[in-house]
Amino acid sequence: MVPQQRPFRFIDDIEKVDDKEIRAVYRFREDEYFYEGHFPGYPITPGVILIETMAQAGVVALGIAILLTQGKPVSEIKKMKTLFTFAESVEFTGMVEPGEKVVIYGEKIYFRRGSIKTRAGIARENGESVCTGVLMGTGVNLDV
């Protein structure tokens, strides 16, 4: 139900999700469109893509899971899109190279009136942190 699709979907699998937290994984493919220019000869995943990755799992997918546990009909959820509205305390502590698999996690800080605020992060498979931050999004119905 996550609306983002390739080439701009950065979730391969959701391993755990409930109304409080999420754990997902993604492997940054070597042919991702942004590596050619970031940086030629030494490709690394742009920080804005890492933030988007955290938002897709920690805001969008977790928000959908919360709505489902609240009994919101799937047909109504599918009409909604989560607009990314806020990021703070984002810290990068590592680089993600092409081909690397990462674990994305999010923990709900609050969910109210269609807005979700989460503490999110990305780590390598060995648990080493790559980036963290506090992110927020708001669900809107684009079919109105």
Domain ranges within the chain, ordered by starting residue: 13-141
CATH architecture of the region 13-141: Roll (3.10)
Read off the tokens for 120: 């999110």
Dihedral (Cα; 122, 106, 140, 88), 10-degree rounding:
-70
Asked if 10 and 32 touch (Cβ cutoff 8 Å), the reply is no
Indicate which residues carry an active-site annotation.
38
pLDDT tens digits, one per residue of 60-113: 999 999 999 999 999 988 888 889 999 999 999 999 999 999 999 999 999 998
Token look-up 């927020």 returns 136
Element (H, E) at 82: strand 80-92
pLDDT tens digits, one per residue of 18-41: 999 999 999 999 999 999 999 999
Tell me the whole-structure pTM to 2 decimals.
0.94
Residue 35 to residue 15: CA distance in whole angstroms: 27
Read off the tokens for 130: 């790559």
Dihedral (Cα; 119, 50, 86, 90), 10-degree rounding:
60
